Amino acid sequence: MAQATVEQAGLPAAAGRSSMRGSGLFAQLTRSPSGFAGLILVVIIVAVALIGPLVVSAPASDTQAIWVGPGAGHPLGTNGSGQDVLAMIMRGGAPVILVGFGAAALTTVIAVAIGALAAYFRGRFDAVMLQITDIVMTIPQIVLLAVLGAFFQLNSPLALAALIGGLSWPVLMRSIRAQVLSLKEREFVEAARLLNLGTMRIVFVEIVPNMASYILINFIIAITNAIYALVGLYVLGLAPMAGNNWGIMINDGWTSGAMFNPSAMSYIFSPVAMIVLLQLGLIMLSRSLEEILNPRLRDR
Protein backbone atom coordinates (compact mmCIF):
# COMPACT_ATOMS: atom_id res chain seq x y z
CA MET A 1 0.00 0.00 0.00
CA ALA A 2 2.79 2.38 0.92
CA GLN A 3 4.70 1.38 -2.22
CA ALA A 4 1.72 2.16 -4.40
CA THR A 5 1.38 5.58 -2.80
CA VAL A 6 5.01 6.44 -3.53
CA GLU A 7 4.73 5.28 -7.12
CA GLN A 8 1.56 7.30 -7.63
CA ALA A 9 3.29 10.36 -6.21
CA GLY A 10 5.84 10.22 -9.04
CA LEU A 11 8.21 13.14 -9.48
CA PRO A 12 7.06 15.22 -6.49
CA ALA A 13 8.02 12.35 -4.17
CA ALA A 14 11.42 12.05 -5.83
CA ALA A 15 11.90 15.79 -5.56
CA GLY A 16 10.95 15.64 -1.90
CA ARG A 17 13.47 12.88 -1.24
CA SER A 18 16.15 14.87 -3.06
CA SER A 19 15.36 17.95 -1.00
CA MET A 20 15.46 15.94 2.21
CA ARG A 21 18.85 14.46 1.25
CA GLY A 22 20.20 17.95 0.52
CA SER A 23 18.99 19.37 3.83
CA GLY A 24 20.27 16.27 5.65
CA LEU A 25 23.70 16.67 4.06
CA PHE A 26 23.92 20.30 5.16
CA ALA A 27 22.76 19.38 8.67
CA GLN A 28 25.47 16.71 8.92
CA LEU A 29 28.04 19.14 7.57
CA THR A 30 27.16 21.70 10.25
CA ARG A 31 27.74 19.02 12.90
CA SER A 32 31.27 18.42 11.57
CA PRO A 33 33.53 21.17 13.02
CA SER A 34 36.20 20.84 10.33
CA GLY A 35 33.69 20.54 7.49
CA PHE A 36 31.63 23.51 8.61
CA ALA A 37 34.77 25.60 9.18
CA GLY A 38 35.97 24.67 5.68
CA LEU A 39 32.61 25.62 4.18
CA ILE A 40 32.58 29.00 5.95
CA LEU A 41 36.18 29.66 4.92
CA VAL A 42 35.47 28.90 1.26
CA VAL A 43 32.26 30.96 1.24
CA ILE A 44 33.99 33.99 2.78
CA ILE A 45 36.95 33.91 0.38
CA VAL A 46 34.76 33.35 -2.68
CA ALA A 47 32.40 36.14 -1.59
CA VAL A 48 35.29 38.57 -1.08
CA ALA A 49 36.79 37.62 -4.45
CA LEU A 50 33.53 38.07 -6.35
CA ILE A 51 32.21 41.14 -4.52
CA GLY A 52 35.59 42.87 -4.08
CA PRO A 53 35.90 44.20 -7.67
CA LEU A 54 32.39 45.66 -7.38
CA VAL A 55 32.98 47.63 -4.18
CA VAL A 56 36.72 48.36 -4.29
CA SER A 57 38.12 50.60 -7.00
CA ALA A 58 41.38 49.77 -8.76
CA PRO A 59 44.29 50.91 -6.57
CA ALA A 60 46.11 53.92 -7.97
CA SER A 61 49.89 54.13 -8.11
CA ASP A 62 51.52 56.49 -5.61
CA THR A 63 55.23 57.14 -6.05
CA GLN A 64 55.33 58.69 -2.58
CA ALA A 65 54.21 55.43 -0.94
CA ILE A 66 56.40 52.75 -2.52
CA TRP A 67 56.95 49.62 -0.37
CA VAL A 68 55.21 51.10 2.63
CA GLY A 69 54.70 48.60 5.42
CA PRO A 70 51.30 47.84 6.97
CA GLY A 71 49.80 50.86 8.67
CA ALA A 72 46.66 52.90 9.18
CA GLY A 73 46.43 54.11 5.59
CA HIS A 74 47.40 50.78 4.08
CA PRO A 75 46.49 47.80 6.32
CA LEU A 76 48.62 45.42 4.23
CA GLY A 77 51.12 47.97 2.94
CA THR A 78 51.87 48.86 -0.68
CA ASN A 79 53.80 47.35 -3.57
CA GLY A 80 56.63 48.69 -5.73
CA SER A 81 54.20 50.99 -7.56
CA GLY A 82 52.64 52.37 -4.40
CA GLN A 83 49.39 50.45 -4.88
CA ASP A 84 47.41 49.34 -1.86
CA VAL A 85 47.93 45.60 -1.28
CA LEU A 86 44.56 45.08 0.45
CA ALA A 87 42.71 46.49 -2.57
CA MET A 88 44.76 44.26 -4.87
CA ILE A 89 43.91 41.21 -2.76
CA MET A 90 40.19 42.01 -2.79
CA ARG A 91 40.19 42.59 -6.56
CA GLY A 92 42.56 39.77 -7.54
CA GLY A 93 40.76 36.66 -6.37
CA ALA A 94 37.99 36.40 -8.97
CA PRO A 95 40.17 35.27 -11.93
CA VAL A 96 41.88 32.58 -9.83
CA ILE A 97 38.58 31.24 -8.47
CA LEU A 98 36.84 31.37 -11.86
CA VAL A 99 39.67 29.44 -13.49
CA GLY A 100 39.68 26.93 -10.63
CA PHE A 101 35.95 26.25 -10.77
CA GLY A 102 35.83 26.37 -14.58
CA ALA A 103 38.73 23.95 -15.02
CA ALA A 104 37.28 21.61 -12.38
CA ALA A 105 33.88 21.65 -14.10
CA LEU A 106 35.45 20.85 -17.49
CA THR A 107 37.61 18.11 -15.98
CA THR A 108 34.61 16.53 -14.26
CA VAL A 109 32.38 16.66 -17.35
CA ILE A 110 35.03 15.11 -19.61
CA ALA A 111 35.97 12.41 -17.09
CA VAL A 112 32.37 11.44 -16.33
CA ALA A 113 31.28 11.41 -19.97
CA ILE A 114 34.25 9.46 -21.33
CA GLY A 115 34.60 7.15 -18.33
CA ALA A 116 30.91 6.24 -18.19
CA LEU A 117 30.54 5.67 -21.93
CA ALA A 118 33.80 3.73 -22.21
CA ALA A 119 32.76 1.39 -19.39
CA TYR A 120 29.26 0.93 -20.78
CA PHE A 121 30.23 0.27 -24.41
CA ARG A 122 33.56 -1.50 -23.78
CA GLY A 123 35.14 -2.91 -26.94
CA ARG A 124 37.16 -0.74 -29.31
CA PHE A 125 35.81 2.56 -27.96
CA ASP A 126 36.95 1.63 -24.45
CA ALA A 127 40.38 0.57 -25.72
CA VAL A 128 40.89 3.82 -27.65
CA MET A 129 39.83 5.97 -24.70
CA LEU A 130 42.14 4.09 -22.35
CA GLN A 131 45.01 4.54 -24.78
CA ILE A 132 44.39 8.28 -24.99
CA THR A 133 44.15 8.44 -21.21
CA ASP A 134 47.49 6.64 -20.82
CA ILE A 135 49.16 9.05 -23.24
CA VAL A 136 47.87 12.13 -21.42
CA MET A 137 48.83 10.68 -18.03
CA THR A 138 52.34 9.83 -19.22
CA ILE A 139 53.21 13.43 -20.12
CA PRO A 140 54.11 15.58 -17.06
CA GLN A 141 51.26 18.05 -16.73
CA ILE A 142 53.32 21.07 -15.68
CA VAL A 143 55.66 20.55 -18.68
CA LEU A 144 52.75 20.24 -21.09
CA LEU A 145 51.09 23.31 -19.56
CA ALA A 146 54.35 25.22 -19.98
CA VAL A 147 54.69 24.22 -23.64
CA LEU A 148 51.06 25.01 -24.51
CA GLY A 149 51.20 28.25 -22.52
CA ALA A 150 54.19 29.35 -24.56
CA PHE A 151 52.50 28.61 -27.91
CA PHE A 152 48.99 29.89 -27.27
CA GLN A 153 47.74 33.30 -26.15
CA LEU A 154 46.00 32.66 -22.83
CA ASN A 155 44.41 36.07 -22.55
CA SER A 156 41.27 35.12 -20.67
CA PRO A 157 40.29 33.03 -17.65
CA LEU A 158 38.20 30.84 -19.98
CA ALA A 159 41.26 29.96 -22.06
CA LEU A 160 43.26 29.13 -18.93
CA ALA A 161 40.39 27.05 -17.54
CA ALA A 162 40.04 25.18 -20.85
CA LEU A 163 43.77 24.45 -20.97
CA ILE A 164 44.02 23.20 -17.39
CA GLY A 165 40.70 21.34 -17.44
CA GLY A 166 41.48 19.70 -20.77
CA LEU A 167 44.61 18.08 -19.32
CA SER A 168 43.41 17.06 -15.85
CA TRP A 169 40.69 14.48 -16.54
CA PRO A 170 42.52 11.12 -17.02
CA VAL A 171 42.81 10.06 -13.35
CA LEU A 172 39.16 10.79 -12.59
CA MET A 173 38.12 9.16 -15.87
CA ARG A 174 39.71 5.86 -14.83
CA SER A 175 37.97 5.99 -11.45
CA ILE A 176 34.58 6.71 -13.03
CA ARG A 177 35.11 3.90 -15.54
CA ALA A 178 35.86 1.42 -12.77
CA GLN A 179 32.70 2.36 -10.87
CA VAL A 180 30.50 2.19 -13.96
CA LEU A 181 31.87 -1.28 -14.77
CA SER A 182 30.45 -2.38 -11.42
CA LEU A 183 27.18 -0.45 -11.58
CA LYS A 184 26.27 -1.61 -15.11
CA GLU A 185 25.81 -5.14 -13.79
CA ARG A 186 23.19 -4.13 -11.22
CA GLU A 187 19.55 -5.10 -11.53
CA PHE A 188 18.22 -1.57 -12.12
CA VAL A 189 20.44 -1.19 -15.19
CA GLU A 190 19.24 -4.51 -16.58
CA ALA A 191 15.66 -3.38 -16.01
CA ALA A 192 16.37 -0.13 -17.87
CA ARG A 193 17.77 -2.11 -20.81
CA LEU A 194 14.68 -4.33 -20.90
CA LEU A 195 12.53 -1.19 -20.98
CA ASN A 196 14.63 0.04 -23.93
CA LEU A 197 15.20 3.44 -22.34
CA GLY A 198 18.13 4.25 -24.59
CA THR A 199 21.87 4.32 -23.97
CA MET A 200 22.21 7.97 -23.01
CA ARG A 201 19.40 7.79 -20.48
CA ILE A 202 20.67 4.55 -18.98
CA VAL A 203 24.20 5.93 -18.59
CA PHE A 204 23.51 9.51 -17.50
CA VAL A 205 20.13 9.17 -15.76
CA GLU A 206 20.27 5.70 -14.23
CA ILE A 207 24.00 5.04 -13.61
CA VAL A 208 25.81 8.36 -13.15
CA PRO A 209 23.50 9.77 -10.41
CA ASN A 210 24.52 6.81 -8.24
CA MET A 211 28.05 8.27 -8.22
CA ALA A 212 26.94 11.82 -7.36
CA SER A 213 28.70 11.94 -3.98
CA TYR A 214 31.95 10.60 -5.44
CA ILE A 215 31.79 13.07 -8.32
CA LEU A 216 31.11 15.98 -5.94
CA ILE A 217 34.15 15.17 -3.79
CA ASN A 218 36.39 14.82 -6.83
CA PHE A 219 35.05 18.09 -8.24
CA ILE A 220 36.23 19.87 -5.08
CA ILE A 221 39.62 18.16 -5.32
CA ALA A 222 39.84 19.19 -8.99
CA ILE A 223 39.36 22.83 -7.96
CA THR A 224 42.42 22.67 -5.68
CA ASN A 225 44.52 21.01 -8.40
CA ALA A 226 43.45 23.58 -10.99
CA ILE A 227 44.35 26.51 -8.72
CA TYR A 228 47.77 25.00 -8.04
CA ALA A 229 48.35 24.55 -11.78
CA LEU A 230 47.25 28.13 -12.49
CA VAL A 231 49.51 29.63 -9.83
CA GLY A 232 52.36 27.51 -11.20
CA LEU A 233 51.83 29.02 -14.65
CA TYR A 234 51.95 32.53 -13.20
CA VAL A 235 55.05 31.85 -11.12
CA LEU A 236 56.81 30.50 -14.22
CA GLY A 237 55.68 33.55 -16.20
CA LEU A 238 53.76 31.45 -18.75
CA ALA A 239 50.37 33.10 -18.21
CA PRO A 240 49.58 36.68 -19.30
CA MET A 241 50.68 39.24 -16.72
CA ALA A 242 47.96 41.75 -17.60
CA GLY A 243 45.34 42.64 -15.02
CA ASN A 244 45.37 41.93 -11.33
CA ASN A 245 45.19 38.58 -9.58
CA TRP A 246 46.93 36.66 -6.82
CA GLY A 247 49.14 34.73 -9.23
CA ILE A 248 50.46 37.90 -10.85
CA MET A 249 51.16 39.35 -7.40
CA ILE A 250 53.27 36.31 -6.51
CA ASN A 251 55.17 36.52 -9.81
CA ASP A 252 55.76 40.25 -9.36
CA GLY A 253 57.02 39.76 -5.81
CA TRP A 254 59.40 37.07 -7.07
CA THR A 255 60.78 38.94 -10.10
CA SER A 256 61.07 42.33 -8.39
CA GLY A 257 63.18 40.98 -5.54
CA ALA A 258 60.56 41.97 -2.98
CA MET A 259 61.53 39.00 -0.82
CA PHE A 260 64.70 40.86 0.15
CA ASN A 261 62.73 43.91 1.31
CA PRO A 262 61.33 43.58 4.86
CA SER A 263 58.63 46.16 4.07
CA ALA A 264 57.39 43.99 1.18
CA MET A 265 56.69 40.84 3.19
CA SER A 266 52.97 41.56 3.37
CA TYR A 267 52.85 41.98 -0.42
CA ILE A 268 54.42 38.56 -0.91
CA PHE A 269 52.59 36.63 1.78
CA SER A 270 49.09 38.12 1.32
CA PRO A 271 48.25 36.33 -1.99
CA VAL A 272 49.98 33.17 -0.77
CA ALA A 273 47.90 33.26 2.42
CA MET A 274 44.66 33.70 0.47
CA ILE A 275 45.46 30.74 -1.80
CA VAL A 276 46.50 28.58 1.16
CA LEU A 277 43.35 29.43 3.11
CA LEU A 278 41.13 28.70 0.10
CA GLN A 279 42.86 25.37 -0.49
CA LEU A 280 42.67 24.52 3.21
CA GLY A 281 38.94 25.25 3.24
CA LEU A 282 38.36 23.10 0.15
CA ILE A 283 40.36 20.20 1.58
CA MET A 284 38.56 20.36 4.93
CA LEU A 285 35.22 20.48 3.11
CA SER A 286 36.05 17.54 0.84
CA ARG A 287 37.28 15.37 3.72
CA SER A 288 34.14 16.03 5.74
CA LEU A 289 31.91 15.33 2.74
CA GLU A 290 33.74 12.05 2.18
CA GLU A 291 33.16 11.04 5.80
CA ILE A 292 29.47 11.96 5.53
CA LEU A 293 28.77 10.39 2.13
CA ASN A 294 30.94 7.28 2.43
CA PRO A 295 29.06 4.66 4.51
CA ARG A 296 32.29 2.89 5.47
CA LEU A 297 33.80 6.02 6.97
CA ARG A 298 30.48 7.16 8.48
CA ASP A 299 30.09 3.96 10.48
CA ARG A 300 33.50 4.25 12.12
Band (3; pLDDT cuts 50, 70, 90)? very low
Is residue 140 a part of any domain in this protein?
A: yes
Give mean pLDDT, residues 123-139.
91
d(CA 195, CA 154): 48
CATH code for the domain of 158: 1.10.3720.10
pLDDT of residue 9: 36
d(CA 221, CA 233): 19
Is residue 250 a part of any domain in this protein?
A: yes
Is residue 149 a part of any domain in this protein?
A: yes
Q: What are 181-205's pLDDT values in tens digits? A: 989 888 888 898 888 888 899 999 8
Which residues constitute the domain of residue 251? 45-54+75-298
Q: What are 241-286's pLDDT values in tens digits? A: 777 889 888 888 888 777 788 878 888 899 999 999 999 999 998 8
Is residue 30 a part of any domain in this protein?
A: no
Contacts of 219 (CB under 8 A, 6+ apart): 104, 105, 108
Contacts of 265 (CB under 8 A, 6+ apart): none
H-helix or E-strand containing 94?
Answer: helix 93-121
pLDDT of residue 98: 92
pTM, 2 dp: 0.82
What is the 8-class DSSP label of residue 185?
T
Is residue 4 a part of any domain in this protein?
A: no
Give mean pLDDT, residues 216-224.
92
Q: Is the pLDDT of residue 118 over 90?
A: yes
Number of domains into which the chain is organized: 1
Concatenating the DSSP letter of every residue in 37-50 gives HHHHHHHHHHHHHH
Is residue 166 a part of any domain in this protein?
A: yes
Q: What are 150-165's pLDDT values in tens digits? A: 777 677 788 889 989 9
Is residue 257 a part of any domain in this protein?
A: yes
Is residue 150 a part of any domain in this protein?
A: yes
